[in-house]
Amino acid sequence: MFGSLLKGLQTTWRYMFRQPVTVQYPDVKRPVRERFKGRHELKRFANGMERCIGCSLCAAACPADAILVVPAANDPQDPVSPGERYAATYEINMLRCIFCGYCEDACPTNAIVLEHQYELSFYDRRSSIYTKDMLLVPQDKGHGEVPPILEQLGRQPSPPARIDL
């Protein structure tokens, strides 16, 4: 028994002078891996326009049915996005989301991106719905130029498809 006690104390002494492996969260936060998938952000282009063109491909790709997109037509005099449409409503239910990143992969304009923020907590179910206002980055946080095809789509909308019966 005395031997075991000495062995235990030996271990205590050995670790007493080492750097602790624990961090004092939330004052200290460990950086996450580059490919970590956290809270979503809706991005903008460098000119401040929203990247989202309201196509709903992210919602279609989502295996948890967590995304709601309600598109609206852009006003040609004051467009919100460079396409024909923009997302008038964009919501993600964070209680449903499994952070798989399929929405990010499906997005043709790199509008929806899972970033490194992981502090997601809420006190009621209603607060788990992240709205467009919460997801959209500020006006001056845009990057990347608008692809010419998107600008063209804004100016020359395709005629509606005709189906001959």
Q: Which of 100, 134, 137, 153 binds ligand SF4 (CB under 6 A)?
A: 100
At CA 130, angle to CA 62 and CA 64, rounded to 5? 20
| Residue 136 lies near ligand SF4 (rule: CB under 6 A) | no
Q: Which of 101, 151, 153, 157 binds ligand SF4 (CB under 6 A)?
A: 101
Q: Which residues contact 139 (CB under 8 A, 6 or more apart)?
A: 44, 48
Residue 145: CB minimum distance to ligand SF4, A? 16
**CA atoms of 105 and 80, how far apart (whole Å):** 23
Q: Which of 113, 45, 112, 114 is nearest to 83 (CA)?
A: 45
| Residue 55 lies near ligand SF4 (rule: CB under 6 A) | yes
Residue 70: CB minimum distance to ligand SF4, A? 10
Residue ranges that bind ligand SF4, judged by CB under 6 A = 52-58, 61-62, 64, 66-67, 69, 87, 92, 97-103, 106-107, 109, 111-112
